[in-house]
A and B are shown apart, each in its own frame.
Chain A
Amino acid sequence: MKLNVKMKQSFEIRCSSNRLSALVATFSEEKRKAVQEIGFGSLINNNLCGIRKDLCIWLVQKFDPLTTSIDLHGKVFKISSKDVERLMGLIDSGSSVELIKPTPDMEDMMKKHCTSEQRISIAQLNKRLSKATVANDDFKIRFTLFVIGTILCPGLSGKLPASYLHLLKNVDSIRQKNWASWTFSSLIESVHRYKRYEQQKSGRQRISGCILLLQLFYMDVVWFGKPLVDRSVMAIFAWGEVEVQNFMRLLQGRGGVGSRVNVREVDDKVCNEPRVSKSLNIENVEEHQMKADLSCMKGDLSCMQEDISWIEGAIEGLISNSSGIPKSPHGNSFGNKHGLEVANGNALLHPHSPIVEVQNQANIEEKHIVCVNSNNSSLFNDEQLQNFDMNALKLKENNKVSGVCVSVKQTQTLKERKPCLYMQSPFDKVIQGWVECQYHACLLSFPTPSKEGDLKIVHYIFDCNLDHSEVLVKTEYAYFTRGPISTLRPETWLDGDQMALRKNPDVARFAQTWQLKKRYMGSLKQCEKIFIPIYDESGHWYLLIVCVKEAIAEIWDPLPNRRRRNYREENARQILRSLDIVFADEIDCVFHQSKRFEDFNLEIPENLPKQPNGYDCGIFVIKYMEDSCIANDLNHLNNSVEERLRLVLQLVCVDFNMEYIRLMSKAEKHYEAISKLAPTRVASDSGWPSKRRKKSAK
């Protein structure tokens, strides 16, 4: 639907964020603090985005006030007051807002704030707010009124009814009011009124209510294939004037307002968890966390209780066994009475008769067995046993599908076969050295099913015929070209850049120029673990984990070797020494008793899953870093190909990869090209680029 210019001109939106941001820009630090105190911290934003008229008219038409849902390009989204909290940072809790006509005892306030006819002029508020020198209670009341009049629920005229004053009688209670739900309900009301009355009017059409919310919601939901703003920040902060301009430009590129664009799903989780804003109500967030922690602790406690009761049972069983078993070899009546009492818990049987004694012993034995059984069953319940079996089955399967499925090459018949290297004719020109092959197909086939789009990208990335220095991943700090990324091909050794942390005489300079701390580490105070992959010159990656709090350094080696062990430990020590230099300025205030990284205990944990082949150590090091729980997982299964694919996709298909969109289109074209070129010949060369020379094809 396109709007004509005339309609745009005759349309008037009362919600004006520009007015607020212009006012807020002039505020002093004291005033800002006062605004934060009354709970409107999220609105102190110099860079509040303006209302886009054409977009908002369209949104209003799509918004259905009866069901409070909005229909965007075929998807229906439900909007609630939770969204006000999520997008605008007004907390959706507290006492509800009710308008009551001012009582006679409020005449003082009326005189202060109202102009005439018992109404409050927003223009006058604006003037007084910018002139105010002190951030007192009057200032707070005026600011609240101003916010209501410009953004939260502006009326049709430029004036507010005096009934708001009743709400603001007590300044401290402003914070406790539920402004979010009030804003939302007034929006619904105004849209309803607009659709009912204003739309039929021929002249000026006016709409009140917080239209900014609809705009923010739309901008939050639309997905242009690349991130325009940081989505971890609350929408009202993230969407400044510049970002909205970019957004509208992109929208124009797709055919203007109302034309079809991609809409992403709103994650329920994100909706429920309010995003943490920079300045807003830190106490409230803390409160939430405390509550969550408490409930966690409750759960833990109940678990512990169960454990304790189980342990008690087990101990009782053990006591009965330990007192019962030694008795069996003696077998005579001497001292048996007491022992049996303990064992059976009650002495109902007659211990003096030998027959009964035998029976008792049998009882004990039975009990013993039962006890053991119960122990077993509680350790491995049926599910786990089944899992175990499943794991074993998987192992078998895994053995079958290890590596890439390479189709068997067709052998050539004798006639077609070329003469061998040594039988070549001396007249033929033999090209020495590197042969630039024209093309050889490399349609890899993967054992695990994956999405077609992913496959295309993987093909494009792994094709060794393409330029190896093409930048595939570009982030703020790092570039990855095809060269290193394509070492993630199946059965290939992993490439990495070794940063000269050891054997470097000038570590301090190195750390400074590479900005090690800024890019790869944070402050040492909050640090728990430092992960450092180390390269062994014999062609092996292993991992050094420095646990700062425990003062331990662990070497996680996916393929330990007795001969290289000392060498690797020495390397790790060197790196610890370098860490001392890198963190020289922080180390004294973090570690007590002048402890240093060099003094850390080196440990080599057992029970690590080891690499089952000769090429996966890099992948394992990455895995160790991702998930340290892997340590005791002896049943850990590794599907090398799957893991590598996952890593590639994780590296390339991410929001912060600036090259992603370009890659997608290129990959698409490339895939078409290969599938046309070589539908039959499927060859996969796993080594990059060592085997390339041999396979020069037509």
Chain B
Amino acid sequence: MGENDRENKKRKVIDETPTISLKVKSQDNDERYFRIRRDSPLLRLMRAYCEKKQFEFRYIRFFYDGQYIRPNQTPDSLGLEDGAEIDALTPQSGGGWRSF
């Protein structure tokens, strides 16, 4: 019983903290949905997204309304609303033609 109580408590804590669902859209219009707590840094979302899409984290840049998102920002500090859309961009690196 003791263990069950603890689990319930944990669940309660998780349930009580307000969460927010976000949509991450990549350049090829692939959409992923994430649920994240309002006060946790968006770094977690970014990492999860990169893992799902099998991108390397350091190359992907995230933007909200055209503004660059830093990993330590939280949904609260950015003022994100429920269902907000985040753009994930892969940087394009170009120098010449590849078979130059």
Contact = CB atoms under 8 A, between A and B. Distances in A.
A514 B86 CA distance: 11
Nearest to A513: B65
B91 interface: yes
Given A504-B29, A536-B94, A497 B89 contact: yes
A323 interface: no
A492 B71 CA distance: 26
Contacts of A540: 94-98
Contact of A483 (B58, B65, B98, B100): B58
A519 B66 contact: yes
A468 interface: yes
A477 interface: yes
A538 interface: yes
Contacts of A448: none
A274 interface: no
B68 A496 contact: no
B92 A495 contact: yes
Contact of B96 (A481, A483, A559): A559
A151 interface: no
A534 to B, nearest CB: 10
A614 B65 contact: no
Interface string B52-73: 0000001101010111101100
Given A469-B71, A498-B27, A616 B91 contact: no
A613 B96 CA distance: 8
B17 interface: no
A496 B91 contact: yes
Contacts of B70: 469, 471, 479
B77 interface: no
B93 interface: yes
B92 A500 contact: no
A404 to B, nearest CB: 15
Nearest to A493: B95
Contacts of B27: 498, 500
B22 to A, nearest CB: 14
B94 to A, nearest CB: 4
Nearest to B68: A479
B1 to A, nearest CB: 46
A477 B91 CA distance: 18
Interface string A459-472: 00000000011010
A535 B97 CA distance: 11
A536 B96 CA distance: 10
Interface in A10-65: none
Contact of B95 (A468, A513, A515, A618): A618
A360 interface: no
A494 interface: yes
A513 B67 CA distance: 10
Contacts of A513: 65-66, 85
Nearest to A479: B68
Given A478-B68, A479-B68, A496 B94 contact: yes
B45 to A, nearest CB: 15
Contacts of B61: 497
Nearest to B94: A541
Contacts of A254: none
Contacts of A519: 66
B92 A497 contact: yes
A614 B95 contact: yes
A615 B66 CA distance: 28
Interface string B3-27: 0000000000000000000000001
Contact of A617 (B28, B65, B96): B96
Contacts of A564: 97
Interface string B76-89: 00000000010001
Nearest to A469: B71
B29 A515 contact: no
A207 to B, nearest CB: 50
Contact of B94 (A469, A481, A484, A493): A493
Contacts of A487: 93
Contacts of B96: 493, 539-540, 559, 611, 613-617
Contact of A515 (B28, B58, B66, B68): B66
A611 B58 CA distance: 29
Contacts of B95: 492-494, 539-540, 614-618
Contacts of A478: 68
Contacts of B100: 559, 614
A74 interface: no
A151 B85 CA distance: 54
B97 A494 contact: no
Interface-central residue, B59, B89, B94, B97, by most chain A CB under 10 Å:
B94
24 contacts: A468-B58, A469-B58, A471-B70, A477-B67, A478-B68, A479-B68, A479-B70, A496-B94, A497-B61, A497-B91, A498-B89, A500-B27, A513-B85, A535-B92, A538-B97, A538-B98, A539-B96, A539-B97, A539-B98, A540-B97, A540-B98, A559-B97, A614-B97, A615-B95
Counting from the closest, the 8 A-B pairs by CB-CB distance are A493-B95, A514-B66, A614-B96, A615-B95, A614-B100, A479-B68, A541-B94, A535-B92
Interface of B: 27-29, 58-59, 61, 63, 65-68, 70-71, 85, 89, 91-98, 100
